[in-house]
Amino acid sequence: MIKAMEAKEKYTLGLEMATDPRWADIASHHIRDILTDHAWCEQKAASSCISLIIQYPDRVRLVETLTPIVAEEWAHFSRVLEELNKRGFTLGAARKDEYIEALMRVVKKGGSREQYLVEKLLMNAMVEARSCERFRILSKNLSDKALCDFYHELMISEAGHYKSFLLLAKEYLPADRVMERWREWVAAEADILRAIVPRGDRMH
């Protein structure tokens, strides 16, 4: 039964490697830093979708799908700011994100315009999948119940975004090619995670 649940979760999130168990404890002792980094992650997620809309305004399905995601990500940014304010914290400066920088190196350059679009969509899907997994960990391990509920709610939202990006990618390339490339992304992301030391001031 447990193996079946683990397999279902892996399939749902599309991840090969789980977060280092140490991260939950480290993060719980650095809530201000986690919330600050989380806020900037939401801002970057909204900006990424806006950038895709600007680059591909002729892709009707893309614009229709990403426009509400932009609104949701910006709403999440605002809500994380509220959580910071509730605790007497102010928004700190954005930090260097080695996880995102590493993912950007996985993106294949060249090829057709559609192939590059799919690469960007798969990168966004990966970020959403990992964020969903991290939010789930926080929702189950923080002592602050309000934050647990907050992260449980956002976990559900991120899972929906992850699925939307994958479905959108299949609009521009055949589904079998998209999933073949997605498996390569999953393997690459696992290697990236193995190389990153768990830190309490980073969401990823």
For the stretch 105-158, pLDDT in tens is 999 988 899 999 999 999 999 999 999 999 999 999 999 999 999 999 999 999
Give me 22's structure tokens. Answer: 């140490």
If one counts the domains in the chain, the total is 1
In a domain, 112, yes or no: yes
Q: For position 96, what pLDDT does the model report?
A: 86
Least confident window among 21-25, 37-41, 54-58: 21-25
The Cα–Cα gap between 43 and 22 comes to: 26
Q: What CATH number is given to the structural domain containing 133? A: 1.20.1260.10
Q: For position 71, what pLDDT does the model report?
A: 97
Give me 47's structure tokens. Answer: 């900006």
Domain enclosing residue 150, as ranges = 22-195
Average pLDDT over residues 40-64: 97
The Cα–Cα gap between 36 and 201 comes to: 8
In a domain, 17, yes or no: no
